[in-house]
Structure formats: structure tokens, C-alpha cells
Chains A and B, each alone.
Chain A
Amino acid sequence: MPKRKLDPLPSAAFQILLSLVDGDLHGYAIMRQVEEQTNGRMRLGPGTLYSSIQALLDEGLIEEIGPGSRSQGAAERRRLYRLTSSGRKLARSEAERLADLLRVARTKNILRGEHV
């Protein structure tokens, strides 16, 4: 069985999936959403963003919604991306995996302060 491109799920791809949970976004909006949800720790550059988007599209985890017409503004002409049901499922599963890790970390008392 061929190895999937997103196994394990890279951090950038996971963040993109999370960014799309609340609605469809275009590339720049995804970048800003990821920056916000990671408190500025992750700013996706165009190359990383669109490589990740391509991988997610290939795996059917997100889908592209065609650009609008030229009569619309530039923002409306951009490609929008939408989370698919597979993408939502994978995001949930990855979140649960990380939650498990967090539980283990807690039991080992390696977390401090507000993160505990």
C-alpha cells in the first residue's frame, strides 16, 4: 500500500485544517488564521502554504471552490478552500492524538504554570 503524503500529518497541514473548521477561506486568510490560532508562532509562507494546500487537495481533505468572476473584486476572485468531511475527521483524530500526548505529559509532570 503506498504511503500517504500526509502520514504523519505535518504541523502546517494540521493548522490549515483547523483554520478551515469555521468556514471557507482563501490563501491569505488561511495564513492569517493560522498565525492567530498559533499566537503568531506559525506564519506560513506562500510556498509552504500552497504546497500544503496541494497535498491536502490531493488527499481529498480539503476542496477548492473556484474563483469568482472578473466583475467581482480581487478578494472574491481568489480561490477559496473548504474542509471536506474526511478533512474534518482527520483534524479531529489528530487533535485527539495530541490530547493523548498532553495527558501523558501531564502525568509525567513536565508541564509548568498555565499550560498544566
Chain B
Amino acid sequence: MSEGLYSLMLRLYPAQFRVRYADAAMELFRDRSRDEVGFIARLRLWLDITRDLAISLPKAYWQAQPALAAQATEMPLPTPGFQVLPSTGLRRLAFFYAVTASLLMFGSLFLWVGYGRNQLMTMASAYRAEPKMHAHASAPAPTAEWTTIESRESSERASLAIAATQAAAGSRPGEAKVMNATEAMVEAIGAHQIVMFGEAHANKQEYEWLCELVKTPAFAERVDDIVVEFGNSLYQKTVDRYIAGEDVPVEQVQKAWRNMIGAVGPVSPVYGWFYKAVRESNLERHGGHKIRLLLGDPYGDWEKINNAEGLGPYVAHRDQWYAQVVKDEVLAQHHRALLIMGAGHFLRRGGPGAVEQVIRAGGVQPYLVVLGTNVVGGYDDLDRRFDSWPLPAIAALSGNWVGDLPAMPVVSGGLAAPNSLKMADAADAMLYLGPRDALMAVNVPRIELVDTAYGKEIARRLMIQTGREMLFTQEPETPQFQKPAQQTIGQGVGARHAPPNPPKSINDPLPPRPPSQ
């Protein structure tokens, strides 16, 4: 309770201060709370904290001014209305009035958003938990595609560090303020305990950027865990050793992503890039803070799965297992984490998805970023306003034209038709990596599939998952969002077709977890 309240108070500080000192300030608060027990001591602590807030807040904003100005000159933003701060600074009295007014306004807002709203959401989640599980169990079986999209409930929005920074940078109503994507993620992970990223699977530009992100010291020093969809939990122990820098043969490590339960067809090499990047990030910061890669895919063992009945329980509980990993390894440990999963799992379709519900029930408001494109209607309906965005970019979605765009075509590259879901309802921010037609998916080289043990194993799995044979047609790279007429499932799997009937075991609970390998 006390920590939550102080955490809200910390949000009043400028983003620069929070990014650098929020954790330390919280740690100091915890230390004092631990050492100063009893009514009088606690009263004195809160008096100190309140007085400290009143004194230090203007100072923190005052110190933030030059950096904001510097940032403004560095960012090649396309919009002419961007305000560069005057070199003479503000009059102290004017600044004092502005801070006081902001304190009153934002204090009320944050208390409402962070507390009242969160309490309501927690109660709502608890109320919905049982029916949701039941509904899931009796629902038609999910398709074996790992881009499966599930139904979502109730809507809400989080107030964001990026939005605050953009507001501070002087955006006009309706304008989208874009930030350098890496800087935006550093801000986000500083301001939010959990940042969720909804990815487009196998995307080259996306994973090039993610690899750069995890090697960015300001990000790497802040994030404790990265929870990924593209890793079978069965291999957590092996991956822990690899990520920690031990010599682990690649054949062992790659089982983590190649043996995913959720994958259909050969698994893109981009995931191997990412594992390697996290390992290198830890090694480069020798003796520093270590990132842990947590595997969120269910622990089904493909060596023991011989038919659809054996696969069913694992496929049916992919979101639930991922959420369990987040609950046990991140929330229970009070860690700061980046969560990566297909955008279809994370999108808020009328409300938070299964994973986000668990996070919110744990009292944490996550920040959701999804990959978006410049497609805003039909497949060829491109929005030229994105052309001037610097790359890679992230823009918060609340209160601007990007947030008003129909979410489905934007996140699917025009493959899904628009409906009533707006971007601002579906996520908090959008990652933009370039025009839809420039985005490429990276495929497993044909030479690694034809007449190889891996190729034969993938063909066997495909038969279990889809009842179809694999077609070795893919190029090393293919357009991420091909026109529907050219569309294929996964990587060279063949033309899109209806999924097979679900196995009966789809309603079974997850089997007990075996020891990690």
C-alpha cells in the first residue's frame, strides 16, 4: 500500500529523473519503511516524503530543462510544431505556479488511474477469472498457428511515460509525437515495471532493433527479465546457462526456439539472433546487472508428442502458461521485465488479454507497445503521413491521429479488415519500423530443411498440427505481409487452409511440468 502510493508520487517527477532514480528512490523509501516502524515514525516518514516532494519536484523539473532542449534538437521530428525550449529558461515564479497546478491536476489523475481504476480492474479480473477459464476450456480449439488471436474483454488505457514526455515536448492536440524507439523503450522500462511488446513473428527489422535494444546499456541495466513466447520452458536450464555466458553447444540451445509448441513450420532464425544478443549483452557488461531470458512457451516435449491428442493440452494453454511464468518469475520477484509475444496475444480487443489480466490482477499496470504498419484500410490503403517518421520510431497512441486509426489493418499490414477497434484502444504505443512493403520475414535456409533431420521433424510436426505436408518454397527472406493471394502459412508451409478439427485433449489441463533440461 505504502509502496504503491509512493510509486504514484514518483510518477510526478520528470521522466529523466524517473528513468535514472526511480528505482533508487523506491529502494530508499523501502529502507526507511523497514527501519522506521511504529505510528510516530511512520507519520514522520510520510511528512518527510510529502515535504520532500514539494521541495524537490520543482528542482527536478528545473534540472530537466537543458536535457529536454538537447533532446529536442537531436530528434529530427517531422512536425513543424515541435517546441525547442528557450535558452534563457523560465522565470522561477512562473515555473512554481506551473508545477503547483500540475501537481494538483496530475496527482488527482494518477490517483484515479493508478488506484481507483486499478482496484476496479482487480475486482473485475477476480470476478471474471473463473468464467474465463471455463470459457476457454470449452471454446472451440485454437488453431495450431501461433498467431492465433483470442477473445478479449473490457477496455482501458494506461497513462504513459512516453506520452508524458511527448506532452512535455510540446505536442499539439491530435498530433502524433514520435520518439526514437530505443529511447522510448528505455523511458518505458524506467517508468513501468512491465513493458509488453506485441511482435510480428520472424520480422527482420523488428529483431535487428530488439537486438540493438538489449545491448543498449541504459535498457540492459534496468530490465531484469525478458519473457519470450519463442522459447519452450522445457529448456529453461540450458538457456539460463547459455545466457549467463557458459559454453553451451548451439544444438542444445536452439532446441528452446526450434521446439516451440506454438510454432508452425520452421522457426525463423531471428529468434536465435535474439538469444545471442541477450547473451552478448550480459557478457559485454561483465560484472554488471544480468538479464534473464524466461521462456514462456508450454513445456511440451516434441520428442514425446506423436499425435494431435498429445499436443492439444499444450496448445490450448499457451497464454495461461506464459502468464504463469510472468506471475511466478517476474511479479512474485518484483522484477522489471520486457514481455515479447505475438501481437495477437497482447492486443486489447475490448479489454486486456489473458496475460495482461494476470499482470493487472497482480497490481501492476503494464505498458503495451505493438508493431504497426502504414496500412490503414484495405491492403493497398497506405497512409503517407508515416513516410516522414524517423526510423525506428515509437509513438504513444492516446489523443492523436495514430490512436484513431483502425487497429486491425495497421497491425496486420492490411491482411485483416478494419473494424471498430482503434489503435488507442488496442495498445499504449506503436512501434514503426518502416512502410509495410519494406518489412521482411527471415526464413530458415532451404539447405537446413531439405533432407535434414530438422526438416523431417518439422514435416512430422506439421502433419500433426495441420494434417498437411510441408512445401519447401521459401526464399531466405520474404515480404512480411504478402498480398492475400500470395499468402502462405508460416514459412513455405503451403496455401492457407482451414485448421483440422481440434483434438479432444484440447480441454485437458496442462500435464505436470517435467524437470527443466
Contact = CB atoms under 8 A, between A and B. Distances in A.
Partners in one complex: yes
A29 B51 CA distance: 20
B289 A77 contact: yes
B289 A51 contact: no
Interface residues of A, number: 26
B27 to A, nearest CB: 7
Interface stretch (B13-21, B149-157, B206-214): B13-21
B59 interface: yes
A78 B24 contact: yes
Interface string A51-67: 10111001000000011
A46 B25 contact: yes
Interface string B25-41: 11111011000000000
A67 B221 CA distance: 9
Nearest to A43: B48
Interface string B42-73: 00000011011101110110010000000000
Contacts of B289: 67, 69-70, 77
B29 A46 contact: yes
B288 interface: yes
A85 B420 CA distance: 63
Interface string A96-114: 0000000000000000000
Chain A interface helix/strand/loop/mixed? helix
Nearest to B291: A70
A50 B20 CA distance: 9
A46 B49 CA distance: 8
Interface residues of B, number: 28
A66 B26 CA distance: 18
B49 A45 contact: yes
B24 A47 contact: no
B290 interface: yes
Given A45-B51, A55-B63, A50 B287 contact: no
A89 interface: no
B400 to A, nearest CB: 31
A79 B28 CA distance: 12
A53 B63 CA distance: 11
Q: Which of A44, A47, A53 has the most CB of B within 10 A?
A: A47
The 9 closest A-B pairs by CB, nearest first: A45-B52, A47-B56, A46-B25, A50-B21, A48-B56, A28-B31, A51-B59, A46-B28, A47-B52
